[in-house]
Amino acid sequence: MTDMTSWQHIIRTIGNVMIPPQCPSCHQVVSSDGICGECWSRLKAITTPACVQCGRGFDFDAGVSRCGQCLTQPPDFDRGIAAIRYNAMSKRLILGLKYAWRHDMIHILGRMMANQGASLLHQADWIVPLPLHWTRHFTRGYNQSAELARAAIKAAGVSPKTYRPDLIRRSKRTENQGHKTRQQRRQNMRGAFRLHADNACVKGASILIIDDVLTTGASLSSAARCLKAGGAKEVAVLVVARVG
């Protein structure tokens, strides 16, 4: 351990004695920072077989690599992995991070993403969090996708130099995607992202976009189109949870 790491470990240990760590979902005291066994059992990891493009889990192995949706209306990103299914438990954790300042969720969800998406994290030239419009970033105080990206990079042991939140920006304040159809979501996200002026490093690069939830993939597709227009060779996505 470095001196700084040693001090951090000591401070963390003292803090855990004074205020025992709790499960972020049910608030039961746990032995270390994390989720209790009961709540953990309600999280459903997405394992193979799964669609290689959007990360949707298959109920059985049908001998295909892509789901019907990706075959008929493929997203603009090339590959995708989701750590867990979006259910009542994962929704509680993600919304806690997103809207309730539950930053204790970050390292837990980041580890899940690193465990499932290690291949994408290690293969990427650049890792990009899906950006918020500056007005939402201002009112929320942080970008949950950026926090998750940093946590996943650290958990996977990937060089922090691959983290590039500056490659794209959100130039359009879009309407909330909730309760919109697939086509409405896509239209809502049209032209939502722009490359930064200096985009030379995008050309020929393999880029990984990090976000919290994938529903129809409209937001991630819009960002992928922007990066591919700038010359990216391949764009993959890694998310905490997949709806459906």
Claim to verify: residue 50 and residue 163 sit in the same structural domain: yes
- Give the span between the Cα atoms of 103 and 95, in whole angstroms: 11
Beta strands in 61-197 (DSSP E): 79-85, 126-129, 168-170, 193-195
Contacts of 242 (CB under 8 A, 6+ apart): 46, 54, 55, 56, 57, 82, 84, 85, 86, 213, 214
pLDDT, one tens digit per residue, over 90-124 is 999 999 888 878 888 899 999 999 999 999 999 99
> Does any domain span residue 86?
yes
What is this structure's pTM?
A: 0.85
Claim to verify: residue 229 and residue 144 sit in the same structural domain: yes
> Does any domain span residue 1?
no
pLDDT category at 25 given cuts 50, 70, 90 is confident
CATH number for the domain spanning 159: value is 3.40.50
pLDDT category at 3 given cuts 50, 70, 90 is very low
Structural domain boundaries, residue 100: 42-175+186-242
Number of domains forming the structure of the chain: 2
At 244 the pLDDT is 85
> Does any domain span residue 2?
no
The residue written with tokens 């993600």 in the block is 94
Claim to verify: residue 60 and residue 168 sit in the same structural domain: yes
Residue 122: CA count within 13 A, CB half-sphere: 9
Mean pLDDT of the chain: 86
pLDDT, one tens digit per residue, over 122-140 is 999 999 999 998 888 888 8
Contact 206, 195 (CB under 8 A): no
Claim to verify: residue 135 and residue 203 sit in the same structural domain: yes
- Give the span between the Cα atoms of 213 and 196, in whole angstroms: 25
- Give the span between the Cα atoms of 121 and 193, in whole angstroms: 22
Claim to verify: residue 167 and residue 234 sit in the same structural domain: yes
pLDDT, one tens digit per residue, over 206-242 is 999 999 999 999 999 999 999 999 999 999 999 999 9
At 150 the pLDDT is 97
The H-or-E segment that residue 196 falls in is none
Contact 144, 98 (CB under 8 A): yes
